[in-house]
Amino acid sequence: MRILIVHNEYSAPSGEEHALRAIAGLLEENGHQVSWFLRSSADIKGTKAKSLAFFSGIHSPGAVKALRRFLQEHAVDVALVQNLYPLLSPSILPVFRQADIPVVMRCPNYRLFCPIGLHLYRGKICERCLNGREYWCLLRNCENNLSKSAGYALRNATARISRRIVDNVGIFVVLSEFQRQRFIAGGILPERLAVVPNVAPSATNGRSDDLGSMVSFVGRVSPEKGIADFLDTAARLPNIPFAVAGGYEQMPGLAQKSSANVRWMGFLTGKDLEAFYRESRLLVFPGRCFEGFPNVITGAMALGKPIIASRLGGVSEIVEHEKTGLLFEPGNISDLTASIKRLYTDPVLCARLGQAGRKKAETDYSRNAVYERWREVLGRALDAKPL
């Protein structure tokens, strides 16, 4: 099968993009031919470029023209679309319909219904933009930048009213059953939805049976990831070592304000990140927003590390309470503190939960299991009648 992956890269690498690259590799190793149609937000530099991006998120004639030319020169059976904003826009989707190429859209976030994709406002779940009320993104200035908030609201409203997404995408791929139910509530028909989780990372040096010593946080250091809750908990447990692996450019000065028992490792990838997991006793995922499918969780699970995560969104489908980890109420520092103290001081419980998590990662999120789901979805897209 010849698959074209269409994506507007973010200005900085993200877990969503690592997952998309992993999917491409998975498809290629199973004999499919993968090509790319990419744009990058890192190219948006200067006032003029930002002004043009405001409008290209609504309609991008340049991207439409480039895509038509690409399809004339390359044979494509199925298009796999992820992020369209701001340099591609939904205006490219009718081009696939005109070329009789089915479209599968992977939705790692909630951007179809929430302009910023997080359903979050000032650290709390927000759903005001649902049901055609995207203007709340501007009224609340969700991006802390009126121009950006206006652009996000306008492009979402335009996509909804024009139906360029819902009328030109055959199958929407979400990452959890929770997300699937959210999309159904948002108006997407159940038969047009499929659940495909991410592939769990494979350990390059085999399993890890070391207990580890650190309570770890891995990911982007930003408010929606619950980093403040993690640090507040560290301050309450000064005799336990905590560590953060992730870039913290978005929150400068945070490292200096944290308690003395917190180590800041910066952004880690590959073998360095794997070594960090191995040195950890447990991973804390204190997210404040509806997550898609956090790769950091399955990365730790694959190495036999138990997880403590906020009971929010689809995370509870990955982290099963008292089976592969512990769940706590989002934002409840006392609950999180008690969970960390309980798990950290009980090596037997750590090992039992970690082993169960590793088994789940090796079965439910294995390369074979996830590929079979993608094979079924892409086959459905090819066989489906035009919308």
CA–CA separation, 288 and 314 (whole Å): 12
Q: Which of 137, 143, 180, 139 is nearest to 157 (CA)?
A: 137
Q: Count CB atoms within 10 A of the CB of residue 187.
A: 12
What single-letter amino acid sits at 243? A
Give the list of residues 6+ apart from residue 213 with CB closer than 8 angstroms, or none: 241, 279, 280, 281
Domains of the chain (ranges, CATH numbers)? 2-112+165-199+367-383 (3.40.50.2000), 214-363 (3.40.50.2000)
- Name the residue with higher pLDDT: 64 or 49: 64
Q: Is the pLDDT of residue 148 over 60?
A: yes
Q: How confident is the model at residue 387 (pLDDT cuts 50, 70, 90)?
A: very low
User: With contact defined as beta carbons under 8 Å apart, do 219 and 296 qualify?
Assistant: yes
The lowest-confidence range among 98-102, 196-200, 246-250, 289-293 is 246-250
Confidence band, pLDDT 50/70/90 cuts, at residue 206: low
Tens of pLDDT, residue by residue over 104-116, are: 999 999 999 999 9
Strands (E), the chain: 2-9, 33-40, 78-81, 103-106, 120-121, 124-125, 171-174, 193-195, 214-218, 242-245, 262-266, 280-285, 307-310, 325-328
For the CA atoms of 110, 116, 121, 122, the dihedral, rounded to the nearest 10 degrees, stands at 130
- Res. 385: pLDDT tops 50: no
Q: What is the pTM of this model?
A: 0.91
Question: For residue range 296-340, what is the model confidence (pLDDT) as tens digits?
Answer: 999 999 999 999 999 999 999 999 999 999 999 999 999 999 999
Mean pLDDT of the chain: 93
How many Cβ atoms sit within 10 Å of the Cβ of residue 10?
14
Query: Which residue in 106, 155, 162 sits closest to 129, CA to CA?
Result: 155
pLDDT of residue 21: 93
